[in-house]
């Protein structure tokens, strides 16, 4: 269950957001291979470890986190192999992982990645089983594919697993859901007090990160910056933000076709400042030649969550001209460009009067959470374990 999620940004950057999502890794080093950035990496403790790595026993009798360990370093056999370089600390009594430091560089030829470092720390809970207690990721991304010199940005993610409880029966509804991760209602609206309590001392933001957060907050309220961002959104998406609503599509305000002649259109839609659960939209259009008023409207309502599922209901109405065979992937039929560029013959348009209502739900959801709080090597189907995970993630250019 995701109880809180917070994103601080002053512009939409889909590529950077994708990089940050990639930092929520789910590594099980007890498997032969782990998937990272859509690439399979051999685990340093896989069944065929000698095929991929060279090892060196650096120290023994070393005490780490209260456990006496063997310190082992490893590196790929080939310099450009897709494999890790790092250190392992193995418990002398149980031969379990106490800590693993994994890294790879640009030589591994992973797109847009200069360096990547992961530390996973394990602990023995109630002197019974080993669990993943902390996961740290530090990544150096580039803006140009496989470039060692171009400017990029750093991403840092830290996750802690707390309050792990074992051998406590859980209700059947805990196992009934099909979603790996469920986002709690209101998770995007948590205040500073919630984050201070959830992060604790170890996950608290650094002074530099707090400074970035304050700077972004000031920029998002600066009138000149807001106007510049709104202009950029209008050019990029065709919609001009206007408080809780967007005005547009600006490139369909005027168009021309052989049926309507000069066509004028105005559309409105709500944005996240209006509501996260209610989405409204509509448009009105008028053609000078056919002298007919046209329009339409949409409404979408996201209902409260029921278990792991969320239902949505909606309706839409459309009274407008359409062209048969035209897919939604093309530019709008009444786009300004269609008035200037036409590659087909005479247009065949139909006036439709369409009403629809629908209900939908997602039965499964993609997981973006970090690793589950137990070690797969010690987990058995009969065990019942639960805990809490808390993480912080930051990206800095």
Cα separation, 129 vs 380, in Å, equals 11
Tell how many helices (H) and how many strands (E) occur in the chain: 7, 18
Give every CB contact of residue 387 below 8 A, 6+ residues apart in sequence. 131, 161, 162, 163, 164, 165, 373
Which pLDDT does position 363 carry in this prediction?
64
Question: CA angle, corner 102, sides to 100 and 106, nearest 5?
Answer: 175
The stretches in the chain having pLDDT less than 50 are 365-386, 397
pTM of the entire predicted model: 0.63
The pLDDT score that the predictor gives to residue 380 is 32
Give the three-state DSSP class for 287: strand
Task: Please tell me whether residue 103 adopts helix, strand or coil conformation.
Answer: strand
Q: What is the pLDDT of residue 315?
A: 96
Enumerate the domain spans of the chain.
14-217+380-396, 238-361
What are the DSSP calls for 165-206, one per residue? Answer: EES----THHHH---S--BPTTGGG--HHHHHHHHTTTTPPP
Look up residue 345 and give its DSSP letter.
S
Q: pLDDT value at position 143?
A: 64
Question: What's the pLDDT at 375?
Answer: 35
Q: So what's the pLDDT on residue 13?
A: 62
What pLDDT is attached to residue 345?
53
For residue range 204-242, what is the model confidence (pLDDT) as tens digits? 788 888 888 888 888 888 888 888 888 888 887 889 988
Residue with tokens 């069944």: 47
From the number of C-beta atoms within 10 Å of its C-beta (0-12, 13-18, 19+), residue 161 rates as: buried
Q: How far is CA 204 from CA 52, 154, 160, 161, 353, in A?
A: 38, 18, 12, 15, 56
pLDDT of residue 64: 93
Q: How far are the Cα atoms of 239, 278, 375 from residue 51, in angstroms, in the given order? A: 55, 56, 25
Residue 170, Cβ density class (10 Å: 0-12 exposed, 13-18 middle, ≥19 buried)? exposed
Counting residues of the chain whose pLDDT is more than 70, the rounded percentage is 79
Integer Cα distance of 131 and 375 in angstroms = 5
């Amino acid at each position: 269950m995701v109880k809180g999620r917070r994103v601080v940004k002053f512009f939409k950057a889909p590529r950077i957001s994708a990089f940050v999502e990639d930092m929520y890794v789910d590594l099980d080093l007890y498997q032969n291979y782990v998937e990272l950035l859509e690439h399979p990496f051999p685990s340093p403790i896989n069944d065929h470890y000698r095929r991929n790595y060279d090892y060196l026993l650096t120290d023994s009798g070393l005490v780490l986190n209260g456990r006496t360990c063997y310190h082992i370093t490893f590196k790929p056999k080939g310099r450009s192999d897709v494999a890790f370089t790092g250190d392992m600390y193995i418990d002398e009594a149980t031969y379990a992982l106490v800590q693993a430091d994994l890294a790879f560089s640009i030589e591994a030829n992973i797109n847009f990645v200069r360096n990547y470092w992961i530390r996973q720390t394990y602990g023995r809970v109630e002197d019974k089983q080993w669990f993943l207690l902390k996961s740290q990721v530090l990544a150096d991304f580039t803006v140009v594919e496989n470039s060692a010199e171009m400017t990029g940005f750093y991403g840092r993610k830290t996750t802690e697993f707390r309050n792990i409880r074992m051998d406590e029966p859980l209700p059947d509804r805990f196992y009934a859901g099909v979603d790996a991760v469920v986002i709690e209602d209101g998770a995007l609206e948590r205040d500073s007090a919630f984050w201070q309590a959830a992060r604790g001392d170890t996950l608290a933001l650094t002074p530099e990160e707090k400074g970035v957060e304050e700077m972004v907050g000031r920029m998002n309220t600066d009138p000149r910056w807001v106007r510049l961002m709104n202009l950029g959104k209008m050019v990029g998406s065709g919609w001009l933000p206007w408080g809780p609503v967007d005005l547009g599509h600006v490139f369909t305000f005027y168009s021309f076709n052989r049926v309507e002649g000069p066509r004028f259109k105005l559309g409105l839609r709500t944005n996240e400042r209006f509501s996260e659960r209610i989405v409204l939209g509509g448009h009105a259009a008028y053609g000078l030649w056919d002298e007919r008023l046209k329009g339409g409207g949409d409404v979408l309502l996201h209902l409260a969550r029921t278990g792991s599922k969320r239902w949505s209901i909606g309706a839409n109405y459309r009274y407008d001209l359409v062209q048969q065979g035209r897919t939604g992937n093309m530019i709008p039929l009444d786009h300004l460009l269609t008035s200037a560029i036409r590659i087909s013959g005479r247009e065949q348009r139909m006036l439709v009067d369409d009403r629809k209502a629908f209900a939908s739900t997602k039965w499964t959801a993609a997981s973006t959470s970090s690793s589950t709080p137990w070690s797969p090597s010690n987990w058995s189907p009969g065990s019942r374990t639960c805990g809490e995970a808390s993480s912080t993630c930051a990206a800095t250019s």
